[in-house]
Structures are given as C-alpha cells and as structure tokens.
Amino acid sequence: MSSPDDLMIETPAGIVRASAGPRRTDGVVFELHGAMRGSVHVTGTHHPYYWDQFTAVRACLGPLDAYESTAPDDALPRLAHGRSGYRGSLTRYPQQHSERLEESVHPLSTAAGNELSPKTYETLTAVLRACADAVARRDDLPQILKSSRLRKTPKLLRFLSWATAEADATAVRCAAEAQAASRELTHSTALWWAIARMVTTHPHPVLLLMLADREDSLARHIQVMAWKAPYYFERATEERARAVRFRGEAASLRTQGHSRAAGGERSRRCGAVPVKELEPIYGIMKHVELSAGRTGRHPMASFDHVTPQRCVQLGRALTAAGLPWHDNGHQEDPQYLTVTTTDPHGRIWRISPATNFQITPSSPGKIWQASCDQPTATTGVLSARAVAQHIKGAGP
C-alpha cells in the first residue's frame, strides 16, 4: 500500500516507487522499489555559487551523503534486473533572479567507475531529481537546511580560510607579474623608438632587423609585454575580489552561527509571510517587489542600472555600517553584479546596486508587490548609505 510520501517516478527503465523515511536531522532517505532497488539520500547544502547560503538540496545515490562518506558497493542502488550499483549525485538550487530551480549533476557512474548508457543516465537523473524536489517541497525544509549548515560550517570555514590564502597569494604574484611586465614594456618601447630614430640618421640592415616583427625580436617582445601587463593586472584584481568574497562568506557563516546561538533561529515555514513583517520593508522604498522562493531564498535587494561604481559605493557604505560584505565577481557583466552582506540578526542580503531598490524576503510562499501607488510607499531613490543603514536597522 502506498503512502502520501511515496513518489511514482516514470523513467526509461520503468516506474520507480520511492518511499521517504523519517527525517534524520539534516537528511531524508528514500527507499526505491519497482524498476530500481536501493536508496537515495537527500540533504540540504549550500548554493553552488554562494558558500554561505544554504538554499540547495542534494540527492545522492545510496543511503549516505556521498560528500561525507562512501557507501559500500553492495549498498548502492541498482536497476531491478541489473547487478551493477551506481554512484553520483544531483543538486537542485534556486536561480539568482527566478523562482525556477537549476540543477547540477555530479558525474554518475557504475560502482566500478564505468560510464553509463544514455538510458541508465536518464533513469538515475529522473530518480534523483524527483527525490530532491520532494524534499524541497517539505514543510521541514528550513530545519533540514539549518541542520546542514550547522554541521558543515566548520569544514566550510576551513576551506574558505585556505581559499582566501590562495587567492591572496595569487593576487600578489599576479600583481608582481603585472608590474614587471609594465616596466619591461616601458623600457622595451623606449628602446625600440631609440633604434627607430637611429635608423633615420644611420640606416643599417642590423637596425632594421631589430625593428622587424619576427620571432624573438624586440617588436615581438613588446607585443608580449603589452598583452602580459594588463592580463596579470586583471588577474590580480579578480583574485583580490575572490579573496574579499571568501572573507565575506566566512564572516557571514560565523555571523549566522553566532546570531542563532545567541537568540535562536526564527523558524520560517513554507506558506505565507505575515504582512506585518513586510510593512517596515516596503514602507520606505520607491519600488519594492516582495517575493518568496520555494527553497528558502535569502533576502535580496536589487536595483536597476547596475554599475561596478555603485557596487564600490555600496561596499564602502556597508563597511561604514559595520556589516561584512563581498561581491560575486561579475565585474565584466554588471547585469549579474551583486553584493552579499549579513545583518545583525544573521540574515543574508544579496544586493544589486543600481537605482530602484527591490527586496526578496527569506521565506518560501506567496508573492507580494508594492510600488509608489501603495499608501505606505514613498518616492525617492535610496543612496548606498541609506541601503546600508536600512539593512543594519532591520528588525528581527
């Protein structure tokens, strides 16, 4: 007899029935029947692009979280009429500016490491996707994500510490390369022009060869330095931005842990957010769109007309307000440029610095919209300082 927790999954191999067991702190195990036998483990995890934001769910083949431990071969799921077990995982996470879920698949293979046939691959991904989506719709998803964050924060902090040190060291090396290439470019260019002036007064074949664009020539060396200097300068800038981002994400994880320990986490369940929680937010904005994701998205603040300069202004304002922050490094494509910060209550805010302000609260459920025609809304454009002060002063 099937229960409400049973999933009927259509796959190329046939119908697979997945029965969810009781929640195990931060995970749910599905037992598979029908066209597949075995189990799938689903747990909460961080967003693949934001280490401090636990908004994703990951389904692993087998009874354990494959990122924490390795299940024995005989415990791996297999097709009903097959003898080979399978390994791999699938992660479902929210898009940055949409309610849709994206997915990433960790390489699926047999227990022996062999590649799968297209039919088997489609079967496994269909089962993993269905189990992950089932957990993403659960009422206790916030508790699963919280438990996952608490368990994984120590390892993430160690990783972010290492990644920050690596980014800092790489930035120093690239900056040194850029400076050396710039000096060499200046020196070589001056030498080339000096030789060119000599040719005009004392023409000689050797001097002409020195000016020619050929392999190992001075002209070719200048071309290489002209490419190398800006390349390494840009690399150094990118690595410094990565280091800032990693520090911000580490600070955010620590802040979330400290705020939860001090005051306890506000439980947010799937469903409606009380309007009284929204009034302090849209009451001071020019245009605000309040929406809630299906997988516990964090509060988002965004603007129109995003520019890197506005990002810098906002970062300075957040620093002045005593709030940790980092950007996502999309300097070349301002459309996707965001700044992430954490308020004193441990809530994460993602901000796209432009003109019109927009906030998305961290709660699954309904969608509200408020704009200038709302009685509580006011007109005017918020400055970077006003945004920082609003986030710092937001109530619990």
> What mean pLDDT is predicted for residues 319-334?
64
Q: How far apart are CA 350 and CA 127, in angstroms?
A: 32
Whether the CB-CB separation of 370 and 361 falls below 8 Å is answered with no
In this predicted model, which residue has the larger pLDDT, 181 or 360?
Answer: 181
β-partners of residue 360 are 300
Helix (H) or strand (E) holding 115: none
* pLDDT (0 to 100) of residue 310: 61
Residue 312 has pLDDT above 90, yes or no: no
Rounded to 5 degrees, what are φ and ψ at 322? Answer: 75, 25
Q: How far apart are CA 157 and CA 160, in angstroms?
A: 5
Whether the CB-CB separation of 137 and 271 falls below 8 Å is answered with no
Provide the pLDDT confidence category of residue 186 given band limits of 50, 70 and 90.
very high
* pLDDT (0 to 100) of residue 44: 93
Whether the CB-CB separation of 131 and 40 falls below 8 Å is answered with yes
Residue 171 has pLDDT above 60, yes or no: yes
Look at the chain and count its residues: 396
- Average pLDDT of the chain? 75
Residue 160 has pLDDT above 90, yes or no: yes
* pLDDT (0 to 100) of residue 344: 74
* Residue range 260-307, pLDDT digits in tens: 554 444 433 333 333 233 222 222 222 223 233 333 334 444 333 345
* Token pair in block for residue 292: 């809630």
CA proximity to 57, closest of 28, 98, 86 = 28
Find tokens 């990951």 and name the residue.
Answer: 58
Provide the pLDDT confidence category of residue 129 given band limits of 50, 70 and 90.
very high
pTM recorded for the entire structure: 0.61
